[in-house]
Each structure stands twice: as structure tokens, then as C-alpha cells.
Chains A and B, each alone.
Chain A
Amino acid sequence: MAQIRKGGKKEVPGVNTSSLPDIVFMLLFFFMATTTMKEVTYKVDVKVPEATELQKLEKKSLTRYIYVGTPMKEYQKMYGKESRVQLDDAFAEVDEIEMFIENERNAMKESDQGLLTVSIKADKETKMGIITDIKQALRRAQALKINYAATKRMSY
């Protein structure tokens, strides 16, 4: 069926985009439901090791994090390339962990204080020396429930 174009310009009708917001909102709600807020901005490079026997951390409010890894590129000038500890949003020394745990525990409800879990998020390239020091510090601070953050290993 041949169509004969006439000289007069025809306007192309605009694409109806009225359902676009709906789609995007749906996406937004999906992300809101499935993700969680970042706890901190990482100043150290952390790639957690892989494991199979994982347990989920139950309550975020009862968990405190210790990050261990080499400083990110922009901090390497100041802090060097050795593995360092990050507490909250700042670099810290291993000796400061005890105080940190103490403070965090005091800020918690009394009934929850015994349930404090410390999650160690350490880079897999870290040497055990620093991890051992952290563990000793946690023992001194009586924070005995710990969790080594890891991701699920699919295969060898």
C-alpha cells in the first residue's frame, strides 16, 4: 500500500511519557527497600575475604565496625601504604579501639550492652599481625562477640 506523501509537513506526535515517573518511582522504591545506607565512607581499601559458613549479622544497631586495609590512594601520601585501622570516619591507631568500644558501649542502652558485636571488615591482603593486635584490644575491652566480615564463596 503505497502512501503518497504530500508536500505539507506533518508533525510527529510527541511520545507519551506520562508513565515514566511511575516506572522510575517503582525503581526508586525497589532500591529503597532492598538497600541500606552506607555506614561510613571508606578511607581504607577493603575487599573482604570469601567464606562459606556465613552467618548474618542480626541487628545493625548492635554492631560496630572496624575497618582494616591499606589507605585509599588519596590518603597514601599522608598515611603510607601500610594497613591501617579505620573507626567510624577517621583513621585510628590500634590503641584507640579500646576507648572506641568503651564509648560505643556506654552510648548504648544498658540492656543491649552485652549484645554488642564487633564486625571486623578487613582486607584479605592484610597481615595477621594487625588483626591479632585488634583482637587483643577487643579482648581487653571485653567485646568478645566478633564477626569477620566475608562474602559468600561460590566455588574454589
Chain B
Amino acid sequence: MANKRKLPEINASQMADISFLLLIFWLCSTTMSTDQGLSRRLPPPLPPNMEKPDVEVNERNIFIVLINSQNQLLVQGELMDVRQLREEAKAFILNVENDIHKPELFEVTADVLDKNGNVERTLKTITTKNHVISLQNDRGTMYEKYIEVQNELVAAYNEVRDEYSRKEFGGLAFNELTQEQQEAVQTLFPQKISEAEPKNYGGKK
């Protein structure tokens, strides 16, 4: 009785098969990709019986970007490569030299609130608060080009915000700031990308 009897080993060779099966099932039915993209906000719909509101915008305040059906870019009346667009848009948003062909400069302020909702700090800067970037495209424009242009415009804003926050918050990039600070910087430099009500230039749908 004292001698140990050896327990028979459990045959685990099937285990590998089962787990391989599970693994392969998982590989087939799932995707690796995380969802990301360019977030935008659409304007609310116009009431059906209303005429388009005539918003008075001073001509120097509009930055017109047109994309035609050949995917060519016309920026402020000039043919342009998409890679120049970011710099051009930034120069327009900031208007550092107070150019009369670029939007008027205003002093704007924004409050940074702390956790309790009290004003912690007031940011003040001079920017072009009335500017509008108007983006128009044709029905024949390729989606890829449109996204590329949108991306450059968003990038221009992000760079402007980034540069400002590095200057004001001791070298911190915009996305390193706290929520409240980000909001304040956003109010100073709001994204103003307006997309025209669609028109059909090119005839064929």
C-alpha cells in the first residue's frame, strides 16, 4: 500500500487542436483595425421653405478652396498643389503681417477654467476671428482628394493651435494640455471650415 501508484497521464494532445481551432476562428472573424478618421460637424439643415441666408462676409475674410472634377485645386484664384495648402491656410488664419488681403485682426480672449469652474487664467491673443475657409467641390471630385484637402485644412488649424499652446503653456503641445486649457485654445482658434451647399457644375451626375 505504501508504494505510490503512478497516475495515468491525461492525454492532452487534443488540446492543441482545439486551441488552434479557436485561434483560427478568431483570426477569421475579427479585425485588427481601430476606427479612426477625420471628425467633422455638418451644418444643420436649412428649413425647406427658406432662402439661403445671405451672410455678409467681407471679401478679405474668405479663403476659397475649389476642387474641380479633375482633382485640381484652386486656392484664392490660383492653381495650387495640395502640399502648399497647409502653409497658405495657416498664413491666412494668422495673418501675422496684417496684410489687407487677409482677414482683419481682432483681439480675442478666452478663459481657462479650473475644476470648480472659476477662471484660472485668461488667454489673450490677436487673431482673425471673422475668417471663413470655404471649401467647394465638384460632384466628380475624387473622395481621396477631398479628404486630402480637408486633412490639410484641419492640419493648418492644429498647427496654429499647437504653436500657440507651445508659446503660452511653456512648450506643451496642444494635446498635452488639460481639457480646460484645450477648450480655451479652441475658442481662440475655432475651426471655421464651411462647405458650400452642393452645386452641380460638371453636368453629368
Mutual binders A and B: yes
A interface residue numbers (CB < 8 A to B): 17-18, 20-21, 24-25, 27-28, 31-32, 34-38, 48-57, 60, 63, 68, 117, 119, 122-129, 131-132, 135-136, 138-140, 142-152, 156
Q: Contacts A144-B44, A150-B147; is A56 near B138 (CB within 8 Å)?
A: no
Which residue of chain A has the shortest Cβ distance to B150 in the bound complex?
A148
Q: Are B151 and A53 in contact (CB under 8 A)?
A: yes
A152 to chain B, nearest CB (A): 8
Check: B118 CB closer than 8 A to any chain A CB: no
Contact partners of A148 in chain B: CB under 8 A: 37-38, 40, 147, 150
Residues of B whose CB lies within 8 Å of any CB of A are 12-13, 15-16, 18-20, 22-23, 26-27, 29-45, 83, 137-144, 146-148, 150-151, 154-155, 158, 198, 205
Interface centre among B37, B83, B139, B142 (most CB of A within 10 A): B37
Kindly list chain B residues whose C-beta atoms are within 8 Å of the C-beta of A152: 36
Q: Which residue of B lies closest to A123 (CB)?
A: B143
Q: Can you report 13 A-B residue pairs in the complex whose CB atoms are below 8 A from each other?
A: A18-B12, A25-B19, A35-B30, A35-B32, A51-B148, A53-B38, A53-B151, A55-B39, A131-B146, A140-B45, A146-B40, A150-B147, A150-B151
